Structure 1
Amino acid sequence: MIQIGQEIHNRYKVIKKLGSGNFSQTFEVEDLLGINSSNLGKRKVLKVLKLSYYSNSKMREKVVELFQREVEVLKQLTHPGIPRVEPDSYFRFVPNKNNQDDFLHCLVMEKIDGLTLEEWLRQNNQLITEAQAIDWLKQLIVILKEIHPKYLHRDIKPDNIMIRPNGQLVLIDFGAVKALTQKYIIQQITSQNTSIGTLGYMPPEMMNEQEAYPQSDFFSLGRTFVRLLSGKHPSDFTQDLQTQQLFWRNEATHISERLLNLIDFLMEPDWKNRPKNTQEILLSMIDLLMEIIDDNHNYYNNILIIRRVKHSNYNFIKSGVLIFSIVLNLFLIGLLIKVDYPRHVVVLLMFVVLSILFISLVFPLEFPLFIKRVYKLLLSRKI
């Protein structure tokens, strides 16, 4: 099939194999030509359709149709959260020139630098925070907002979401994409152990009715956040036998109830009970963020109140110390007036008076400690 180091389509040099799925294999390639100079030598992803798994001619036609649909979808969508493709990204490649009828369907697309969210989770060995969850959920909803007017993704999961070094999420693998204008039934493909969607992330309607809706992507998105927030695969959790609700919240105790409710809303077993569209989810997120802001506002107000009380106590102590120092200075001055001390004693007492006054004004809270230390010093020297 495809070999490392092989030159494809007189333009792409195969660098390494990236992965293999039910429908295709992916390779990292180097663009030796490029439409313009910016593409020259640039690394890209080559996706090659695997038809060897399908002996039935009708099945092969359907798989090719899915692949070509992915090409058309990616050409129409322009968003930083979706891999870019160029007008000539799709082509047929003949690996054996002696057999022109044996060709491969190929698609070249932007190579996303970064990790999938599944890889990120394993590499960091930690759950995402609530702030990360809100940011990532918002990004993915905006990407779906770009897709859903015409298409459904139908295979959202951590393995199909990548994160760039700058934190931008990218939804990848549009091989299972479906046009909203078509009623495409997947029964034929699933009959050969090749399913569209992934167990644990696949909504009930795709498993039972073999049909998908925009709300089907919401369900898979919710299950994706179950994985990210709990660290466990959704299939590892039990479900309520009657309601089919997933028991997963105990594994995400670091997340607020508001966000947990939103995730469960996305995963309602009946697709009709899920959000109607991406706008409804974004509005729910705005409400969520407003509640968080209100909570933070109340929190900081409480801190300010505590600080004001502390500041009032500080001022009270400061005033008391100052009054004490003034009384002490008046007492020392009175001693100087009434008693006829030697000259050097008078100078010494005046120095003490001025020192106490200065310290009490500049360091009012440290004044009692200063007095205590001076007293101990005088006792130790037996003056």
Structure 2
Amino acid sequence: MSSSEASPQKGASSANKITHLGEFRLKRKLGAGGMGDVYLAEQESLDRKVAIKTLKKKFANDPKFVERFYREAKAMAKLDHPNVVRCYAVGEDHGFHYVAIEYIDGKSMQDWMDELKQLSIGDATLIILACLDALSHAHESKLIHRDIKPDNILVTSKGVVKVADLGLAKAVDEDNSMTQSGTGLGTPLYMPPEQARNAKHVDHRTDIYALGGTFYNFLTGKFPFSGDTALELIMAKESGKFESVRKLNPEVPEKLDLLIEKMMAKNPDHRFKNCAEIMSLLEDMELESPSLSFIDGEAASGAPRVRRKGKSKVSSAAAPKRSSGHEVSSAKDAERSTSKNKKEVVEQRVWFIQHQNAAGKTIVSKMTVAQIKQGVKAGVINTTAKVKRTAEGQFIGLAQCPEFDSVMQVRTIKDKADARATNMQDKINEISRDYDRRNRRRFFKNLAEGTWGWITLIIYLGVIAGICYLGYLFIPELWRWIAVKLNLS
């Protein structure tokens, strides 16, 4: 498609179509969104592809909205994060207000969900972690998305996750309503109930709720709430009840199920305080895949990957000149023998060590290097223990001595891992307690509602019985009175 075929027109009567907006040459139309049309363009000064979003006429005719649009676009341009679609420029040309953003050569997660129907736990977790990282960065800059959904989560051809429309979603939402076109108050399928009640007074926790709903959709292929109309959907959300992820997908671990439920708590105060808290929990679960499985392996080669250390190789040019096989072998044997003897001598050296015994009392003992290492590995000797070579010397920390450096590094890593596991268990216990509290509240609420229903039924049946009894007593008398009045036999 030529640029003239894809460019916006100034009006229906205009004969010529626009091929440039500022320094951006329009190439073809990509689609239309809540804000307006979207075009693929080329930034001529930097020779790079960009996406151009133009404002609809109903927005462009509102000076207050245009001012806010520019303000939000400038705020978005300040975001610099690998998982956020970048904003390059905002301006006005030929009567069109536009914003130039990073062009993503891939598809949205909604496109992928239409194709895949459901994601693996590893893929879904990897995408959500990237979104949490992006949203955390945005929230620190006082930007709230307010329209998180699979449509606004893009994946490049190399498997990099990008959150789109950060900042712009807020500008467009403020003057829209549920009955207008566009994103309005957000997408009803994912937005929290408080956003439907008052979209102008929400905070970053609205993004947490919507991302929880998106996570739910990724893992189950379904939506937590349903309704034939937006109003029915919002009313369903007000109940706060939905089928658990684990019920629809038994492969989902219970702690992940609890995490999603807390992200989607009806009351914002019952959700996580921030995205960093959720990221910490998810990373501790270690459920994410190293890369997205639905992206082709070769295409995904540009995605960030963990580089593992390998053995270094010595080139033939840098290698030492070879001697005869016998000489080389003898030299190596001698080197190994010397190294072994030195190590044995070091291991048998006696040190004075200041440490705590089993009763918690600080004592000074004499131990060999080998004994101290074994004690540190077994956890008998604490990492705060101090040593000295001679009785007159000064105690120093174990980590300061080369003899104990390696064993202390291993012990430190182990202590951190143990602390991390304990912290993880504490967080899981916290989610479980919160889950139990809400279940108890739900039980008593249902019990109260059920008891009141029975009481109402009993009263209703009593009233009917009373009416029947009064009829039984007075209808014969009433009939006799009517018969006398009408002279009936």
CA distance in 2, matches of 1:235, 1:104: 39
Provide the C-alpha distance between the structure 2 equivalents of 1:283 and 1:139, rounded to a whole number of angstroms. 13
Distance 1:165 1:213, change over 3 A: same
- Is 2:132 the partner of 1:147? no
Q: TM-score, normalized by length of structure 2?
A: 0.49
SS at match of 1:268: coil
Whether 1:244 and 2:233 are equivalent positions in the alignment is: no
Report the equivalent of 2:189.
200
Alignment partners' CA distance in 1, 2:63 and 2:87: 23
Residue 208 of structure 1 and its aligned partner are, at CA, apart by 1.1
Unaligned runs of at least 5 residues, structure 2: 1-6, 10-15, 228-232, 288-489
- Residue from 55, 68, 75 that aligns with 1:49: 55
Q: Partner letter of residue 220 of structure 1? A: A
Distance 1:234 1:61 in 2: 39
* Corresponding letter in the other structure for 1:236: S
Contact 1:18–1:28 at 8 Å: present in 2 too?
A: yes
Q: How does 1:346-365 map to 2 (within 5 A)?
A: none
Structure 1 spans left out of the alignment, 5+ residues: 95-102, 179-183, 291-383
Indicate yes or no: 2:94 matched with 1:82.
no
Q: Does the 8 Å CA contact 2:193/2:238 hold for their aligned counterparts?
A: no
The residue type equivalent to 1:189 in the other structure is N
Q: Write the distance in 2 (CA, Å) between the matches of 1:71 and 1:241.
A: 32
SS of match in other structure, 1:176:
helix
Percent pairwise identity: 26
Give the 3 Å change call, closer, same or farther, for CA 247–285 of structure 1 in structure 2. Answer: same
Match status 1:160 vs 2:156: no
| 1:72 and 2:70 aligned | no
* Number of the residue aligned with 2:278: 281
For 2:217, the equivalent position in structure 1 comes to 227
Deviation string, structure 1 residues 120-174 (Cα, Å, up to 9, x no partner): 1223x24211111221121111111110011111110000000122322100023
Runs (4+) of structure 1 exceeding 4 A deviation are 237-243
Q: Matched residues in 2 for 1:252 and 1:74: separation?
A: 37
Using the alignment, how far apart are the partners of 1:14 and 1:240 within structure 2? Answer: 44
- State the distance in 2 between where 1:10 and 1:62 align: 23
User: After the TM superposition, which residues 255-274 of structure 1 pair with which residues of structure 2 at under 5 Å, given as runs?
Assistant: 255-274=252-271
Q: Output the CA distance in 1 between the equivalents of 2:19 and 2:274.
A: 44
The residue number in structure 2 matching 1:321 is none
TM-score (norm 1): 0.62
Paired residues in the alignment total 263
Paired letter, 1:47: K
Letter in 2 for 1:198: T
Assess, with a 3 A threshold, how the Cα gap between structure 1 residues 204 and 223 changes in structure 2: closer, same or farther.
same
Preserved CA contact (<8 Å) 1:23 1:63: no
> Which residue of structure 1 aligns with residue 291 of structure 2?
none
- The CA deviation string for residues 280-311 of structure 1, in whole angstroms up to 9 with x for no partner, is 11222244339xxxxxxxxxxxxxxxxxxxxx
Of 12, 19, 30, the match for 1:18: 30
- Answer yes or no: is 1:189 the counterpart of 2:176: yes
Moved more, 214-223 or 161-170: 161-170
State the partner residue of 1:371: none
Question: Is 1:91 matched with 2:91?
Answer: yes
Against the structure 1 CA distance between its residues 61 and 189, is the aligned structure 2 distance closer, same or farther, given a 3 Å change threshold?
A: farther
Q: For 1:263-342, list aligned pairs within 5 A.
A: 263-289=260-286
1:318-355 per-position Cα deviation (integer Å, ceiling 9, x unaligned)? xxxxxxxxxxxxxxxxxxxxxxxxxxxxxxxxxxxxxx
Distance 1:5 1:255, change over 3 A: farther
| CA 47–269 in structure 1, closer or farther in 2 if over 3 Å, else same | same
**Deviation per CA, 1:22-63, whole angstroms, max 9, x where unpaired?**
3222111123x21xxxx31x2210110112368xx6xx1343
Q: Which amino acid aligns with 1:163?
A: V
